[in-house]
Amino acid sequence: MDKDSQKEGIVYIKTFGCQMNFHDSDILRELLIQSGYMIAGKPDDAGTIIFNTCTVRDHADSKFYSELGRYSKSDKKIIVAGCLSQIAGRSLIKRAPFVHAVVGPQYLYEIPHIITGGSVVLTDDNPEFYIHSRPEIKKLSASVDIMYGCSRFCSYCIVPYTRGREISRRPDDIYDEVCRAAENGAREITLLGQNVNAYSYEDIDFAALLRKVAAISGISRIKFMSPNPASMTDRQIREISYIPKCVPHIHLPLQSGSDRILKLMKRGYNSSGYMKKVEKIEKYIKDAILTTDIIVGFPTETEQDFEQTLKIVGDVGFFNSFMFCYSKRSGTQAGAMEGQVSMVVSKERLGRLIEYQQNITVKKLERYKGSIMSIFVDKQKESGFAGRTRQDIVINVKSGSAVLGKFVPVEVCGISKHTLKGKELA
């Protein structure tokens, strides 16, 4: 027997994509340990490699395929999980016959069993996925899924096809999971969902869930990712403002500033509707900061459409933005649209947008210079530490002795690209 196949019980997990995928990998790691597997720190040490994939943009696909290619001649057992698996299914085995199993996001819990089993492709709807209780994960900053999937079908987005339709978890299960996270040392909790504020289970909506979670002692900060502007109600905004544990940082994906493009994207709001939500957030939530996601080069986007995006970015004054070139996803509505914009044009617009946003970010960061802010220390470095303010802004402190999991005051003394530099107070 060769060396790699003897190491089948040692697993390396490589994760691509969003916070949801990283959280799935945390769950998977615990499940594997419970089942007697060992987790390797690097691929060379493992006999089994699990790729937890993303397919939201073409770039994510290419990154994965180029990594996968490296294993074509290896004896390691290769398992492909996550969103790309759901779309590629059996065709992935045809393209890469050395792949042992292809497992969609709803089969995460099966992975420990299929490592030793025969070759499989698991991508059908799996209702059992939703009733699994979650393993305990010990983290200072813990994430908890509150809902899965998305039923909005924005015309550019592959997620409803990879993660399935929206389904909310039972509030009592969420409550228990947050309580266990707090008992295991979590001080911060992030509620996760593709369309998180559309959470709804019987008579409990997102606002009611926030209230329930906020009552759990031990948890000092509550975050949530990602809300959708179309599902954001006045009641939610008021509730966030009434709960001091909710961080005043709202990530509200805009996607475009052009009403014509927003309509083609099927976002369910126009620019003035979006601005009204922003005004309400700023009115009710003290010291709120806003961040967003933007796509440039959506089919038929003109220079005028793009200028409307720049305008709204300036009007809102986002603290930061995640900015992307539109990536054609086959199977989505926009993938079949006429008027695809060339990559050259998209990249040029993206460059301008990034520069515009960076200038805004710098101005926003500059305002904090000289102020004293309390940070939650979530990273310790060789010398110094890093933490996050109440608004979830990262402050790096070069030298100091603060310990993980503590709240400490620091003085802001400078800025980096998206973060602040701080000094520990004596």
Residues 6+ apart with CB under 8 A from 12: 39, 40, 41, 42, 43, 45, 46, 48, 49, 50
CA 75 → CA 1, 9, 11, 38, 395, distances in Å? 10, 13, 13, 18, 44
How much is the CA Rg of the chain, to the nearest whole Å?
A: 22
What angle do the packed helices 343-366 and 303-316 form, to 10 degrees? 10
**Contact residues for ligand SF4 (CB under 6 A)?**
17-18, 20-21, 54-56, 82-83, 159, 162-163
List the single partner that 293 binds among ligand SF4, ligand 5AD, none, CB under 5 to 8 Å by kind: ligand 5AD
Q: How far is the CB of 83 from ligand SF4 (least distance, A)?
A: 3
156 binds ligand 5AD (CB under 6 A): yes
List the single partner that 253 binds among ligand 5AD, ligand SF4, none, CB under 5 to 8 Å by kind: ligand 5AD
- Number of residues that this document lists for the chain: 426
Q: How far is the CB of 109 from ligand SF4 (least distance, A)?
A: 17
Q: How far is the CB of 293 from ligand 5AD (least distance, A)?
A: 3
Torsion, Cα 303 304 309 310, to 10 degrees, reads: 80
Residue 159 or 397: which CB sits closer to ligand SF4?
A: 159
193 binds ligand 5AD (CB under 6 A): no
Q: Tokens for 154?
A: 């924005």
Q: How far is the CB of 57 from ligand SF4 (least distance, A)?
A: 8
Beta bridge partners of 411: 372, 423
Stretch that binds ligand 5AD, among 27-35, 87-95, 166-174, 322-330 (CB under 6 A): 322-330
List the single partner that 162 binds among ligand SF4, ligand 5AD, none, CB under 5 to 8 Å by kind: ligand SF4
Order across the sheet with 10-15: list the strands. 38-39, 10-15, 48-53, 77-82, 99-103, 120-122
267 binds ligand 5AD (CB under 6 A): no
List the single partner that 295 binds among ligand 5AD, ligand SF4, none, CB under 5 to 8 Å by kind: ligand 5AD
157 binds ligand 5AD (CB under 6 A): yes
List the single partner that 76 binds among ligand SF4, ligand 5AD, none, CB under 5 to 8 Å by kind: none
Q: Among residue numbers 44 through 83, which ones bind ligand 5AD (CB under 6 A)?
A: 56-57
Residue 192 or 386: which CB sits closer to ligand SF4?
A: 192
Pick the closest to residue 24 from 245, 194, 257 (CA basis): 194
Among 15, 52, 231, 255, binds ligand 5AD (CB under 6 A): 255
The phi, psi pair for 212, rounded to 5°, reads: -65, -45
Pick the closest to residue 186 from 246, 137, 244, 247 (CA basis): 137
326 binds ligand 5AD (CB under 6 A): yes
Beta bridge partners of 421: 396, 414
Residues 6+ apart with CB under 8 A from 59: 327
CA 156 → CA 17, 57, 262, 353, distances in Å? 17, 10, 11, 20
Pick the closest to residue 379 from 405, 418, 410 (CA basis): 405
Stretch that binds ligand 5AD, among 72-80, 88-96, 326-334, 400-408 (CB under 6 A): 326-334
Residue 164 or 299: which CB sits closer to ligand SF4?
A: 164
Residue nearest to ligand 5AD (CB): 293
3-state helix, strand, coil in the chain (%, to 5): 40, 25, 40
Residue 168 or 327: which CB sits closer to ligand 5AD?
A: 327
d(CA 142, CA 190): 6
163 binds ligand 5AD (CB under 6 A): no
Residues 6+ apart with CB under 8 A from 170: 201
List the single partner that 326 binds among ligand 5AD, ligand SF4, none, CB under 5 to 8 Å by kind: ligand 5AD
Residue 293 or 348: which CB sits closer to ligand 5AD?
A: 293
Distance of CA 205 to the CA centre of its chain: 21
309 binds ligand 5AD (CB under 6 A): no
Q: How far is the CB of 91 from ligand SF4 (least distance, A)?
A: 17
List the single partner that 156 binds among ligand SF4, ligand 5AD, none, CB under 5 to 8 Å by kind: ligand 5AD
Task: Give the residues lining the site for ligand 5AD (CB under 6 A).
Answer: 56-57, 156-157, 253, 255, 293, 295, 324, 326-327, 329
